[in-house]
A and B are shown apart, each in its own frame.
Chain A
Amino acid sequence: MFDLAIIGAGPAGMAAAVEARALGLSVLVVDEQPAPGGQVFRAVEAAHGDAVLGAEYSAGLGLVESFRRSGATFRPGTTLWHLDPDAGELSLTPGGPAQARRVLLATGAQERPVPIAGWTLPGVMGMGAAQIMLKTAGAVPAGRVVLAGQGPLLWLLAVQLKRAGAAPVLVLETTPKGRLGAAFRAGGWFRGRALLLKGLGLLREARGLAVVRAVTGLRAEGAGRVQRVAWDGGSAACDTLLLHEGVVPATQVPLALGLEHAWDAAQQCWRPVVDDYGAASHDRVAVAGDGAGIGGWQAAVAAGQLAALDAAHRLGRLTAAGLAQRAAPVRRMHAEALALRPFLDALYAPSAAVLAPVDDQVMVCRCEEVTAGQVRAAARLGAQGPNQAKTFLRTGMGACQGRMCGATVARLIAEIRGVAPETVAPLRPRAPYKPLTVGQLAGL
């Protein structure tokens, strides 16, 4: 029986483990990947010397090293497929189950799906995917690469590819005109100016790349693989099309647990409801990092530390006074890290067409190959949400369990019903959160 089980060895999970161990808690950390780091510091132990990835990435090595030294039990390459928080029982594969008094979900984010025409063609990928190729294999897309979408990652990746001698032939930025003014009005830029300056540095380094701004009507075209990217008013040949419209919390596990969720209007996604320490609506579960709302890795580190302090307090290892005292500086760090969010959220708000494709032919469910038009028809028949649409259309029954289509399906239904997106509850995932074999299950 561990005091604290942490799901995910990204910034939040690693920071929580280090803090919890320092407070004397026994800690189990589980991660699907073979090494700690999460997606942001993916493979940093192997790749920190690659200058192309930049200094911020290499800085993650320190966090990984302190995690390795923390004395937490680390089970890499391990999948959580069921969690019973009442019993504190984690079903894990490979290897057996584990027990913990408290569970911290630090499962991070996933890229927001970008359902455009042709996005299932080979050669179309998420920008995060290209970055993972860079981090885990030092590899870059060959041939003509086009980046399309928006967000901080777009410019970071553009610069990384440029440094690696694989600069994109074209950047199609989807941010509409006039957003910068809105972003400055949203505030936070002064307090968050350190991050803002970092972003400006990237933009400076990206100078010289061909950029088309305020792009709409994106689509991928080609026979058997992507060959062209087209948009309203233009088109270009390409071999790899990388899409990105920001990231959203990975809510599969928290939703499956039935944790209370709230609609995040700024980021147009659901996120688990947590208190100042990350404690969720179940009294033995906390959520920290991007999984509780997108804030970036610095905020995730702080959130992880706060969740660890709270765990120690709840388990009687830290007094209320001790908690308050230790939390104060972490809280300041957390607020600092989040300062630029209003600016970024306003600048990079996803357009309506990204959230609910206008074209009925666009495939929204990649697994079961279901189009936007079919979802709209199911909504007109009376499906009130993604759970009913799932029974009618199989959207969410495929291998990804709705990770790629759930939000889009809900959005399309909201559109047809004429209701606000937050009135359509999200897909309710079930275990196994990730596949396991019948034999593995039978061997329990």
Chain B
Amino acid sequence: MLAGTTATGAAATEAEGRASGPFPTARARRRYRLVVAGLVAVAALIALGLLAWDNPMPLGSDGFWRIAELRITSLVVMAVVAVAQGVATVAFQTAAGNRILTPSILGFEALYVAVQTSAVYFLGAAGISAVQGVPQFLLQVALMMGLATALFGWLLRGRRGSVHVMLLVGIVIGGGLGSVSAFMQRLLTPSEFDVLSARLFGSVANADAAYLPFAVPLVALGAVVLWLRSRRLDALALGRDVATGLGVDHRRETMLVLLLVSLLIAVSTALVGPMVFLGFLVATLAYQLSGTYDHRRILPVAALLGFVVLGGASFVMRHVFSAEGVVSIIIELVGGTVFLLVLLRKGRL
């Protein structure tokens, strides 16, 4: 086949170095390496800063490590949330074929808010402790996974099932749960509402160290499996028709990706509460910074960025504003601004 052009094609490949790959030019490849190196350095600095800044004991001493140990928990929580949100959002946007969606559209946050609100509504201020604990944590994860699986299974298996119909139903369910929660919140006493509202802001401080032995492996599992399927995600990003033409079982692959995404988001939400904007911001920046279609390279950048954003925001809030616990506010403020800047400068997502 094509005997004539084979020879010239092969010669050209050698002569000009015609090669495909995740990066169009050598410059793009160098840039990617620099971005990853820079992110790793910044992440390390932030981790060190969170452990050592304002630590009264001298660096490296016995007392220093005792204080640092207390802070390591929140560092691990941030890493778990960063990986979960970053990886899940990129994979979700690929599966949905849309880069302005976030997985929270599936109703996870709304379900979390509904669970927390009903606990306080039915059991009073003490109720908030009734939804804390390892079994409760796992139950919440299971509940969110159950909701997601029902949604995907029902809609994608149906005759006219499509990702978009599924997302719409997710929005409707989320909206419904949100209204029920809002109604119950109106009926709470001010003190009960105060207790509740602290739980409804996504915050690293919400996390209990006892959840980590379950959260870490679950998130690691979800993220690693998604990363291993990167090449299929690349094909999935070409849309249903092209992906099918290339031999990817689109429906099966989409289901699997969405299940893994819901595992990641469920764990993250049950751990720290709603983080609506983090994943969206991180995914958008990850596409820009990595400059490739290759998920094997986008996903690590997204996870690293997630840690940098979350850790950086916590550091600023803790040591500049002395207002720990409202990290999601600064993420939305700074993140939103960065996002708009990128969008205005590049003119595309």
A and B bind: no
Which A positions have Cβ atoms within 8 angstroms of B? none
Which B positions have Cβ atoms within 8 angstroms of A? none
